[in-house]
Structure 1
């Protein structure tokens, strides 16, 4: 049987009703495995509780600690599983996918319902994550994946589209596969992203800002002075307004400015619109369009790049590496 290391960070999957009437993190990795006796028939599981926090409390430092734990656990395992909350699951998965360079899969999972609720999905998601590792094809490149609701997601594409629904995660038709009847079916090979495995600390800060109607420019002026890079979720396919255009261009002369589409699905435009504040206009002034990278992931990538003394050219290379298949 394969050896699998499982660590818990917290999140809804670990929550139960507390004295204040709401749910809080109270159970961990060992509790999960004890609740699924069938696991003993298919794998040997070692458990570890990394943290017991809500996913909105997770920091880059927490993720670095999780990465270092997983890298050490990989020495004696054929697969790694990390459970956490779904609020930032897509961000954690993308962050780890930029670092994980080990030859075994790293799977993240969580739950939309607490263990006190009817239809608690946490145990099913964990069992499916274990099933994926047990049946992981050796022909595939190992990497980071997310298993939720019987679906295998790639960290690059997955997004949380609904605040409470069980089927919250969507990958814009780029799902990797499904798990049913204890079987794994892949729709497409796992495409490996460029890696930055030597990251020790994140000492650079990137500001992420979403445009809204009749925006004020003061926030971006402040951010331009305080942060090492700026990521903007622009109108539509990645556009700004006349009030903030000059401020954005001024910042782009001294530090990286990334313009993304603020829509849930679809890339930023590159060569469609030509008015002031559009993608053609902004690119002439040094602003970089993100293409398929959504704002929160563009911020993570830029933070890692700047913290390793890399820059805008490396961001563009990564951006251009991404294709829809």
Structure 2
């Protein structure tokens, strides 16, 4: 007697994968979860997929409360016996949403985030292949306890390191700091390098109050007017996307120190790879100077993910010491 197929829950939020051409001349969401699943060759041989769609929102309009709701739905799915969960959404924010979900996902079952770079009516539409690969990954015992993973183009990425690196290519998603963790070939997951998961043990209610955190990316010659305005605008924290190894112009050091005395200020690098340094450069505006003035280095975490982690920490009531410990872990 054949083994029963694994049960996979699918949570559809929207995205290019659901979009067909409408009267505007562009593409817009039209397809249901059931229609998407029917268009995937071989899916019925890989898993028994049960879909639901708690809401339909473009990826760029998702918020932390939306993701908290997704975690609730996914948690109920595994409690009901699902071997894994697939979240389908617009790819614009997958690198951010996957990271947040990974911070909030505390189950051994894989939670896979996927989508499509091309609509279903486009030549070479990638949605069906991505859904099949996501189902195979969600059902794979090799990915249990790996947390939240992103699967597109037959490639499996860790939530902490995945990045969208191209506006339109089907190979848009890449992994920083070491490459992807696995690939999907011939109906199975082939693990390449699966590092230990950095569990963050955070929680978030869909009705939680989310403290606002600013993202400041200073360019050449940038002045301090945006920085000095932040406290009056009600911000609870700031992420600074510094140059190089974590540097800013010398004239921003004092305003940043003043902010760090009032709220957590996280220091990242805009380079896209490598860590924020801690003890190499000593000029005014260097990492030694800024850390000495109270800024918290983010390690290898990019600014867009550091901002979300800081929001989750502040929503949980973390003080500055707890924030520093979380970014240093």
TM-score (norm 2): 0.93
**Structure 2: distance between partners of 1:257 and 1:8:** 35
The runs of 4+ residues in structure 1 deviating greater than 3 Å are: none
Match of 2:215 in 1: 208
Match of 1:297 in 2: 305
Matched, 1:217 2:199: no
Contact kept in structure 1, 2:297 and 2:328, CA below 8 Å: no
Taking a change above 3 Å as real, the CA distance of residues 28 and 237 of structure 1, as seen in their structure-2 partners, is farther
**Structure 1: distance between partners of 2:127 and 2:101:** 21
Match of 1:195 in 2: 200
SS at match of 1:258: strand
Report how far residue 17 of structure 1 moved.
1.2
Match of 1:72 in 2: 76
Residue correspondence of structure 1 range 124-273 to structure 2 within 5 A? 124-137=129-142, 140-172=144-176, 173-200=178-205, 201-225=208-232, 226-273=234-281
Provide the aligned length of Structure 1 versus Structure 2. Answer: 320
Matched, 1:34 2:42: no
CA deviations on 1:143-189 (whole Å, 9 max, x unpaired) are: 11110111100000111111112111111223111011112111123
Greater CA drift, 203-212 or 306-315: 306-315
Matched, 1:109 2:92: no
TM-score (norm 1): 0.94
Taking a change above 3 Å as real, the CA distance of residues 267 and 142 of structure 1, as seen in their structure-2 partners, is closer
Report how far residue 193 of structure 1 moved.
2.1
5+ residue gaps, structure 2: none
Match of 1:50 in 2: 54
SS at match of 1:67: helix
Taking a change above 3 Å as real, the CA distance of residues 160 and 37 of structure 1, as seen in their structure-2 partners, is closer
Out of 100, 124, 130, which is 1:119 matched to?
124
5+ residue gaps, structure 1: none
Taking a change above 3 Å as real, the CA distance of residues 178 and 57 of structure 1, as seen in their structure-2 partners, is same
